[in-house]
Amino acid sequence: MDYILHFITSNIEMLYILVFAVFLGMEVISKVPTVLHTPLMSGANAISGVVVIGAIILIRSAEADSYIKLTVGMLGIALATVNVIGGFAVTDRMLHMFKKKKK
């Protein structure tokens, strides 16, 4: 119990951020037409590639000779970058198709 209380008091700012982010995420897309579900999902998916930042920090804080960490980190960056670049590009293509057909 003490542990939990301590956890809450020492992380209170973080908890605020988490709670607000949850509500914000729910609000920001609450009124989306069905036809946009797939592009929106794809766009959100690209944003979740933000984990690439973590991989960058991981590599930057590693020593220059810890090759395993560097290799794993680079793999992580590559995977997450595929997610980011691919995600945004695919979303763009989907939305493009969407507009063009109108005539």
Partner 1 sequence: MEKSIIDFFYLICIVLFIIGLKRLSSPDTAKKGNIIAGIGMGLAILVALFQPLEGGANNYLWIVGGLILGGVIGYIAAIRVKMTAMPEMVSLFNGLGGACSMLIATVEFYNLEPGTAMMSTEVLTIIFALFVGSIAFTGSIVAWGKLDGFLRDSLVLPAPQILNLVLLLTVIGLSAYIMYLPEINYTLVWILLIVSMVYGVTFVTPIGGGDMPVVISLLNSFTGIAAAGAGLIYGNQVMIVGGIIVGAAGTILTVLMCNAMNRSLFNVVIGGFGAAGQSSGSDREQVAKEISLSDTAIQLKYSNKVMIVPGYGLAVAQAQHTCHDLEKALEAEGVDVRYAIHPVAGRMPGHMNVLLAEADVPYPKLLELEEANEQMPSTDMVLVIGANDVVNPAAKEDQGSPIYGMPILDVELAKTVIVLKRSMRPGYAGIENPLFFGDKTKMLFGDAKDSLSKLKAEVANA
Alpha-carbon radius of gyration of the chain: 19
The footprint of partner 1 on residues 58-77 (CB under 8 A) is: 58-64, 69-70, 72-77
Q: Is 26 in the site for partner 1 (CB under 8 A)?
A: yes
Q: Is 5 in the site for partner 1 (CB under 8 A)?
A: no
Compare residues 1 and 70 and give the one whose CB is closer to partner 1.
70
CB count within 10 Å of CB 97 equals 10
Alpha helices in the chain (DSSP H): 2-10, 12-28, 37-47, 52-60, 67-81, 87-100
**Cα 8 to Cα 4: distance, rounded to the nearest angstrom:** 6
Compare residues 1 and 63 and give the one whose CB is closer to partner 1.
63
Total residues contacting partner 1 (rule CB under 8 A)? 82
Tell me the closest approach of the beta carbon of residue 41 to partner 1, in angstroms. Answer: 5
Q: Is 12 in the site for partner 1 (CB under 8 A)?
A: no
